Amino acid sequence: MEVTLDPLAVPVAEPAAIERASRRSGGRAGRVAVRTAPLAENLRPVRPGMSGGQYSPLTDANVLRIHQAALDALETIGLSQAPTSGIEIMTRAGAVLGDDGRLRFPRALVEDMLAVANKNVVLFGRDPAHDLDLSGTRVHYGTAGAAVHVVDVETRSYRDSTARDLFDAARITHALENVHFFQRAMVCRDVADNFEMDINTLYACCGGTTKHVGTSFSDPSHVAGCMELLHMIAGGEDAWRARPFVSNSNCFVVPPMKFAEESCITMEHCIRAGMPVLLLSAGQAGATAPAPLATAIVQAVAECLAGVVYVNAMAPGHPAVFGTWPFVSDLRTGAMSGGSGEQALLSAGCAQMHRFYGLPGGAAAGIADAKLPDMQAGWEQAISNTMAGLSGLNMVYEAVGMHASLLGFCMESLVLGDDLLGQVLRCVRGIDVTEDSVSIEAMRQVCLEGPGHYLGHPQTLSLMQTEYVYPAVADRTSPKEWVEIGKPDLIQKAIARKNRILEHSTTPLLDPAVDAAIRAAYNIYV
């Protein structure tokens, strides 16, 4: 719903009622009401899945060189430490197990698996309105990560994250138009048992939103029990398999060039259970990945291509996201630098490789090294999110809320990120050049017949909602107006909107009978 007023601050009338009121009043208030009425999805100025791809940090020759280097790495270096089941799956398809225990991948094998890989993945929401089409260069923004702290902006401190925090973050995300999916952003540190933590992670995410959810499993043995929970939510295993609304974020490799045995077994379980997977390679340039940005991309691409072979040798066409997530180190200290310009370039370059392969791709952007939602956080989040969107990255993970290089999650930053992503998505949409948009008729009327300005012109009024994006929290008043309204502080406005969302999101998103059954079967902390 696209409105110029925060829908959680004031009641929004139904469009038909607004039109009737407008006809009765015939005044400015009625016309404003019509313009602020909810728009049809296809008329909104920004929306999920708009196509990016306008920005390419790599030339075509660069892309081919990286591709060839990745194939060379797979053929000559290969990956070590695959589980026995993975070795059987991949060697049966044509991978070669060396005397050194490393699996190597002939070029022809990689090309064959790319040919059968699913290139038109749809990640489902529990509500079909939130389905994510990952074809082409369609762009979607969402959360992710495993923050162990919550940022308290009022006390400027960090505390341990809880299951309730994760649930609240999901509820806030559910209300934000420009945050399109909710991948587990925090660890439930109040849940000591690892199986119960995985269960409560799923419950908090699915109980808070009907958008697509992403999660991880701390042990392969937990997948079966978690799938039983998801079948309960879906209404049965068949309903789940028809529309799997949760994907597995799977760190199947430990860079450089090693499989993560337990994660690989988890991935196999998820594939058999019909769950989409994110093939996540998260090397850190200068530490667990090469320091040159180009070679960091080479390693990430090689590792994810190995994942493409693994998945498609096991289940051809299974939905998988090509998750090249190379991170950046501050080479002075070795610390992660997720908010750097180099990180933005890496994510954009990876998006270009996804485009080259025609595979649905995901990478990280929007990470702030800043500890609080301040000016540093603003530029760090804006630069990388904008570059990721313009490069056509299908799934932009960790786009909002993440601080301290993924150690802290901030609810207020999540709210502010909705405004930020609205502006970013407007950049992704670009400039519409059509016969109507470049017609000089309005110019002729204003300059030759009218008042000499476009304020109040029918063209201006007709485009107010469809061409322009308006922030819900950011301040655009003049200094005089700002003083008159009490000099509102951005963080205080974010706190207020967060509280309004949480107060109004009282409608249960799980069927009460299903919720009762889940609580009877599992120890739910929320």
Peptide bond into 48 cis (omega under 30): no
Ranges of each domain in the chain? 1-43, 50-55+115-429
Q: Are 417 and 387 in contact (CB under 8 A)?
A: no
- Residue 190 CB neighbours (<10 A): 14
Distance CA 183, CA 214 (A): 4
β-strand partners of 281:
324
CATH placement of domain 50-55+115-429: 3.20.20.480
Q: Are 389 and 396 in contact (CB under 8 A)?
A: yes
pTM (2 d.p.)? 0.92
| pLDDT by residue, tens only, the chain of 526 residues | 333 334 444 333 333 433 343 344 456 666 556 556 677 888 889 999 999 999 999 999 999 999 999 999 999 999 999 999 999 999 999 999 999 999 999 999 999 999 999 999 999 999 999 999 999 999 999 999 999 999 999 999 999 999 999 999 999 999 999 999 999 999 999 999 999 999 999 999 999 999 999 999 999 999 999 999 999 999 999 999 999 999 999 999 999 999 999 999 999 999 999 999 999 999 999 999 999 999 999 999 999 999 999 999 999 999 999 999 999 988 899 888 999 999 999 999 999 999 999 999 999 999 999 999 999 999 999 999 999 999 999 999 999 999 999 999 999 999 999 999 999 999 999 999 998 889 999 999 999 998 999 999 999 998 999 999 999 999 999 999 999 999 999 999 999 999 999 999 888 899 999 999 999 999 999 9
Q: Are 301 and 70 in contact (CB under 8 A)?
A: yes
Q: Are 270 and 240 in contact (CB under 8 A)?
A: no
Whole-Å CA distances, 78 to 86, 94, 352: 14, 13, 23
Distance CA 381, CA 422 (A): 13
List, in order, residues 6 or more apart from 187 with CB less than 8 Å away: 146, 147, 148, 161, 197
